[in-house]
């Protein structure tokens, strides 16, 4: 019987690092959930460690070179508000929510990245970017389940006081609470952005970021209670996870300014910028694209000089370019030096390579065959998808990740 199966609540905590779990373990709801399951710390993210590639890897179980969603935004030289890669068809690998639907499970997704146009029964997709309210509303209704979106907006309108954090997370949390009780889906996906927003604006070690963690714990408590009420505690599984960490930034730079200084981006007589080359900025990394092949050698000569700039840590390796999938769009890439980021001014950023202290994500799982009150470490965020599939009873498909908690390939317990 369907009501005897395991139902799964997956909650994404954007930019909450493994170090943040030290704080969360002192808060009532996260610590309670941890006592009922297994916390996996020091988990490796995927490269590049930005929200959309990470969430696409989490929902498919493969690295970006296989699923093809390589960055948050499109590479659009001269566009101050480039389009986000929000359409589900851009993810070329099988997705958990599609596989769940294939065996008759009902799925609800609220703000999960890259789900515009996805075949999800109750879909309230994330539509980021700079746009007017009418354009956003149109994209939202076109990309999601229009009746579910409209009814959710009406039922939870009092929580959306403004489209910014923490109001946005308060709003989406209440949509999820409502959906759990009213719809009782088999799988519910929820993406929370409060911590990420405040780390960008105020820094990862700021009081504002700490306050966001406290709000996050309150929301976890509400969601746990609603899931147990909707499904029954014995039939409920929960995975709380993050996508990447966030590093402190004292200086943000745009490598395209260097291209301008060297005449590789210049204005025509009508005032429009012409690009011989272009850097796509991804926060902790930036990627070079040559648009005028006749100046390739000149660009590469200048690029070698730019590697000695104080904002540049190193050139990215061929292996990093390959596994990120970015070698299909860009010639090469660079990583920002400690304390620097590439792009708009921020106090905290991600998109860096994976070998940084206090930068790793985590996941916490509760459910059948999951050990209780355990702490372990290691693996990668691509391991979350096969774990989720096993909890739901979804047949596994070809993935890079492995279920390391409830299968034969388990971690050694460290606590």
CA–CA gap between residue 397 and residue 11 (Å, rounded): 23
> Domain check: are 241 and 267 in the same one?
no
> Domain check: are 93 and 190 in the same one?
yes
- Residue 408, in any domain of the structure: no
Dihedral, 400, 406, 409, 411 alpha carbons, nearest 10: 100
Q: Are 51 and 14 in contact (CB under 8 A)?
A: yes
- Residue 403, in any domain of the structure: no
- Residue 65, in any domain of the structure: yes
Half-sphere exposure at residue 368, Cβ-oriented, CA atoms within 13 angstroms: 14
CA–CA gap between residue 97 and residue 88 (Å, rounded): 11
Question: In which domain, by residue range, is 200 found?
Answer: 2-247+355-392
CA–CA gap between residue 239 and residue 110 (Å, rounded): 15
pLDDT of amino acid 161: 83
> Domain check: are 382 and 328 in the same one?
no
* H runs (alpha helix) in 26-104: 28-35, 51-60, 64-67, 96-102
> Domain check: are 18 and 144 in the same one?
yes
CATH code, 288: 3.30.1360
CA 167 to chain centre: 19
Overall number of domains in the chain: 2
> Domain check: are 212 and 80 in the same one?
yes
> Domain check: are 272 and 219 in the same one?
no
Mind listing the pLDDT tens digit of every residue in the chain (415 residues)?
355 689 999 999 999 999 999 999 999 999 999 999 999 999 999 999 999 999 999 999 999 999 999 999 999 998 989 999 999 999 999 999 999 999 999 999 999 999 999 999 999 999 999 999 899 999 999 999 999 999 999 999 999 888 889 999 999 999 999 999 999 999 999 999 999 999 999 999 999 999 999 999 999 999 999 999 999 999 999 999 999 999 999 999 999 999 999 999 998 877 789 999 999 999 999 999 999 999 999 999 889 999 999 999 999 999 999 999 999 999 999 999 999 999 999 999 999 999 999 999 999 999 999 999 999 999 999 999 999 999 999 999 999 999 999 754 455 455 4
The strand pair at 7-13 and 187-192 is best described as: parallel
- Residue 406, in any domain of the structure: no
- Residue 404, in any domain of the structure: no
Closest CA to 387 of 399, 408, 364, 405: 405
> Domain check: are 124 and 46 in the same one?
yes
CA–CA gap between residue 74 and residue 286 (Å, rounded): 13
> Domain check: are 136 and 52 in the same one?
yes
The residue from 312, 345, 378 where one domain ends is: 345
Three-class DSSP labels, 144-209: CCHHHHHHHHHHCHHHCCCCCCCHHHHHHHHHHHHHHHHCCCCEEEEEECHHHHHHHHHCCCCHHH
- Residue 323, in any domain of the structure: yes
> Domain check: are 283 and 169 in the same one?
no
> Domain check: are 155 and 282 in the same one?
no
CATH code, 36: 3.40.720.10
> Domain check: are 281 and 193 in the same one?
no
């Amino acid at each position: 019987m369907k009501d005897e199966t395991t139902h799964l609540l997956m909650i994404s905590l954007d930019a909450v690092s493994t170090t943040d779990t030290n704080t969360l373990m002192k808060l009532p709801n996260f610590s309670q959930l941890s006592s009922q399951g297994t916390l996996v710390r020091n988990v490796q993210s995927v490269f590049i460690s930005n929200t959309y590639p990470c969430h696409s890897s989490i929902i498919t179980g493969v690295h970006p070179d296989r699923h093809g969603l390589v960055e948050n935004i499109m590479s659009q030289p001269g566009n101050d508000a480039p389009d986000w890669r929000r359409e589900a068809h851009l993810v070329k690998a099988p997705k958990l929510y599609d596989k769940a639907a294939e065996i008759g499970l009902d799925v609800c997704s609220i703000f999960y990245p890259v789900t515009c146009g996805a075949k999800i029964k109750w879909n309230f997709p994330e539509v980021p970017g700079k746009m007017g309210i009418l354009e956003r509303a149109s994209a939202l209704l076109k990309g999601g389940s229009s009746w579910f979106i409209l009814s959710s907006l009406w039922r939870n309108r009092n929580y959306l006081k403004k489209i910014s954090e923490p109001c946005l997370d308060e709003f989406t949390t209440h949509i999820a609470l409502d959906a759990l009780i009213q719809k009782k889906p088999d799988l519910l996906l929820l993406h929370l952005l409060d911590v990420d927003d405040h780390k960008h604006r105020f820094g990862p070690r700021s009081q504002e970021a700490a306050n966001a963690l406290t709000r996050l714990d309150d929301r976890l408590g509400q969601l746990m209670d609603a899931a147990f009420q909707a499904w029954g505690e014995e039939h409920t599984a929960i995975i709380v996870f993050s996508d990447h960490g966030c590093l402190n930034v004292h200086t943000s730079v745009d490598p395209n300014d260097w291209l301008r200084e060297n005449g590789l981006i210049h204005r025509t007589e009508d005032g429009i910028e012409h690009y011989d080359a272009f850097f796509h900025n991804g926060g902790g990394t930036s990627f070079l694209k040559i648009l005028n092949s006749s100046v390739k050698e000149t660009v590469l000569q200048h690029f070698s000089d730019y590697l000695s700039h104080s904002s540049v840590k190193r050139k990215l390796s061929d292996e990093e370019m390959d596994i990120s999938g970015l070698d299909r769009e860009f010639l090469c890439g660079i990583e920002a030096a400690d304390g620097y980021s590439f792009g708009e001014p921020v106090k905290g950023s991600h998109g860096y390579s994976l070998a940084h202290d206090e930068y790793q994500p985590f996941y916490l799982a509760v459910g059948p065959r999951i050990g209780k009150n355990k702490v372990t470490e290691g693996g990668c965020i691509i391991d979350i998808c096969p774990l989720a599939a096993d909890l739901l009873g979804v047949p596994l498909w070809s993935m890079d990740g492995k279920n390391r908690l409830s299968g034969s390939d388990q971690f050694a317990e460290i606590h």
